[in-house]
């Protein structure tokens, strides 16, 4: 079983992979990630506007990203879904996952906070179009890819995948 953390979640527990699609997130966090994270780092090719700061220079693997519905079946290519979580699901599929367990896919505000850790610094993208994110996830038909996607998030507006208790999900592995 492999684990992919999305954005700041790499700080919560040991994980094999770290995925963040936003170049501004990487620009802000790359020093900490390179110091503290031992797994494989991933991003996508969209939004890397600074030619002097490219992910490959930091050892981050860059995937081609397309604005298409569903999941990409082509190695090295992910579909965007306008968020890192969506792209991480596509990466998990490309890495051979048969069951994907989602944690923290809330897709909603926490009071005035956009994420479990609070809001990103002002210079970074401030994700708040959760309805759009949910709409993108709804284009994924897991059976079409030979997948099971279980949503084990405690609070979630993402209702297109079966909800499961995390303890039951872990016991089933």
The two beta strands, 99-102 and 77-79, are unpaired
pLDDT at 111: 78
Alpha-carbon distance of 8 to 165, in angstroms, equals 23
pLDDT at 48: 83
pLDDT at 144: 98
Mean pLDDT across 94-118: 86
pLDDT at 128: 67
Alpha-carbon distance of 72 to 64, in angstroms, equals 10
More confident residue, 163 or 53: 163
pLDDT at 32: 96
The tokens for 62 are: 């860059």
Give the pLDDT band (50/70/90) at residue 108.
Answer: confident
């Amino acid at each position: 079983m492999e684990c992919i953390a999305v954005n700041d979640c790499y700080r919560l527990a040991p994980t094999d992979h770290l995925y963040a699609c936003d170049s501004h997130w990487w620009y802000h966090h790359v020093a900490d990630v390179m110091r503290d994270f031992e797994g494989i780092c991933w991003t996508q090719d969209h939004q890397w506007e600074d030619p002097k700061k490219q992910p490959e220079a930091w050892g981050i693997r860059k995937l081609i990203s397309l604005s298409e519905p569903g999941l990409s079946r082509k190695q090295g290519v992910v579909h965007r879904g306008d968020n890192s979580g969506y792209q991480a699901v596509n990466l998990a599929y490309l890495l051979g996952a048969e069951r994907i367990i989602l944690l923290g896919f809330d897709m909603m505000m926490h009071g005035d906070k956009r994420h479990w850790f609070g809001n990103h610094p002002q210079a970074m993208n401030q994700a708040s179009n959760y309805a759009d994110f949910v709409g993108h996830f709804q284009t994924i038909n897991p059976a079409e890819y030979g997948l099971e996607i279980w949503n084990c998030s405690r609070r979630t507006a993402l209702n297109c995948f079966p909800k499961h208790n995390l303890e039951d999900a872990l016991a089933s592995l």
